[in-house]
Amino acid sequence: MLTSNGYVLDEERLGVLQVVPQPERSERDVLRARLMRDGYLYLTGLLDAAVVEQFREYYFRLTGAATDRASYRKVLFEEIVPGPEYAAFCAQPALKDWFEWFLGGEPFLHRRKIIRQTAPGEIGIGTATQAHYDLVYLREGSDQVLSAWIPLGDCPVSRGGLAYLEGSHHRVLADEAAGRLKRPAASMTADLPALATEYDANWLVANYAAGDVVIHTAHTIHAALDNVSTEMRLSTDIRYQRADDAVDARWQHHWHDRDGL
């Protein structure tokens, strides 16, 4: 049984996230067409799994010394998020060089980068990330910004990985263009089954492994599943765009969960 924010997902509304085949990965035009069609690119093994695991170990080494919520937040927001280790991880050549190649120009990494941790059994509204598309949080810059969701360690479905609403970007793009979806900077809903019914679409899920990356557009609806495993779920989401496109200035400060974004 899969759940998100406490809602049980109907198996008839579940599908599998499609991996980009190796022969397509060196064909930029093919990848761009695939991104326009699907709204995401699931790139297994893009990163060195050992590098991912090293950062995961670094994270838990620092946060493991935190004895309460206040000390955990201090470590997270004052040491890890602005630290050189996180900066280096997010700008490692396997990521930066890929975006430079794919975008066809100098890539720009937004400074506001987010780390998400979900412990086993943390379920119910307000725990897993609710359904949303990223443009509602990035309206003061280019709508061509791309998000990279990176599991920091293996993340099978039971651990609460990201789920994508199949084909949702096509409707969002149309509604945005028609002015029907000038949504505030907030999630759409916690009720993923109802949204699947509304869009007549499946939620696509996958058993992610360390080294995998999913690239998605600013119009693609996504959400996280509940962590019903016995292990900690850890991930990061970062955003790249072309440096010569308009940049949302609000996203050029280090992330804090009280920054209003």
Give pLDDT tens digits along the chain (261 positions).
788 988 999 888 999 999 999 999 999 999 999 999 999 999 999 999 999 999 999 999 999 988 899 999 999 999 999 999 999 999 999 999 999 999 999 999 999 999 999 999 877 777 788 999 999 999 999 999 999 999 999 999 999 999 999 999 999 999 888 877 666 667 889 999 999 999 999 999 999 999 999 999 999 999 999 999 999 999 999 999 999 999 999 999 999 999 988
From residue 243, alpha-carbon distances to 105, 144, 166 in Å are 8, 11, 29
- Answer whether 162's CB lies under 8 Å from 38's CB: no
- Answer whether 133's CB lies under 8 Å from 189's CB: no
- Answer whether 115's CB lies under 8 Å from 235's CB: yes
CA distance 5 to 89: 29
Whole-number pLDDT of residue 184: 66
Q: Model's pTM, two decimal places?
A: 0.95
Whole-number pLDDT of residue 66: 87
Whole-number pLDDT of residue 10: 85
Rg (CA), the chain: 17
Whole-number pLDDT of residue 176: 85
CA distance 165 to 189: 13
CA distance 131 to 48: 29
CA distance 223 to 163: 5
Alpha helices in the chain (DSSP H): 28-38, 49-63, 69-75, 84-90, 93-103, 168-177, 192-199
- CA nearest neighbour of 237 among 38, 121, 81, 28: 81
